[in-house]
Amino acid sequence: MKKIIIFLLCIIGTVGCSCTNDKASDAVEKYLNDYKGLSDNVLSDIDEIVEKENLEIVQENSYKEVLKRQYRDLLYTIENESYDGDTADVTVRITVYDLYQAEKTASKYLNDNQDRFLTNGIYDSAKYLDYKLDRMKDITDTISYNIVFKTIKVDGKWQVEQPGEIVLQKIHGIYNYEED
């Protein structure tokens, strides 16, 4: 599921921001507001990614709702921007649901209660996925990160460069901060 979320953000990130931006931070705001506003591109990418998963219809809908909620409720504040010619770094403080913690809690519950995820004595991954998606939908705990977005000026317009994997994991709330 983490790879899907990262891939989704990669697709959206390649689109960047082609609107007129006087400041690098305008491009970053547009980039993040596309998520918050669930732009057509974001919704289309969510549908495309979720459809590629081997999920039941109910699970697909739950997964879409988890992603939509994460994006819609994302909070951010532009902290700083520093320019070097046609490149700039924009530091943003984001707050997202801690989906990493939800996944970790679900995994621990699976390990401690394996009998709850059996069908006719055989492990049923669909039962576990339902349980994990419910934990992800219900989570209210948030986590905040400082992220530096790289931007570049192309044809007089600031664009967000494709963020790296760790940045994408932080945006999605799936970053394993326990390894830091």
Average pLDDT, the chain: 89
Query: Predicted confidence band at 42 (pLDDT cuts at 50, 70, 90)?
Result: confident
| 8 Å CB contact between 131 and 117 | yes
DSSP state of 38: T
Whole-number pLDDT of residue 33: 96
1 has a pLDDT exceeding 70:
no
Query: Predicted confidence band at 105 (pLDDT cuts at 50, 70, 90)?
Result: very high
| 8 Å CB contact between 152 and 86 | yes
What would the pLDDT profile of 63-73 be if each residue is shown by its tens digit? 999 999 999 99
Query: Quick one: the chain helix, strand, coil %, rounded to 5?
Result: 55, 25, 20
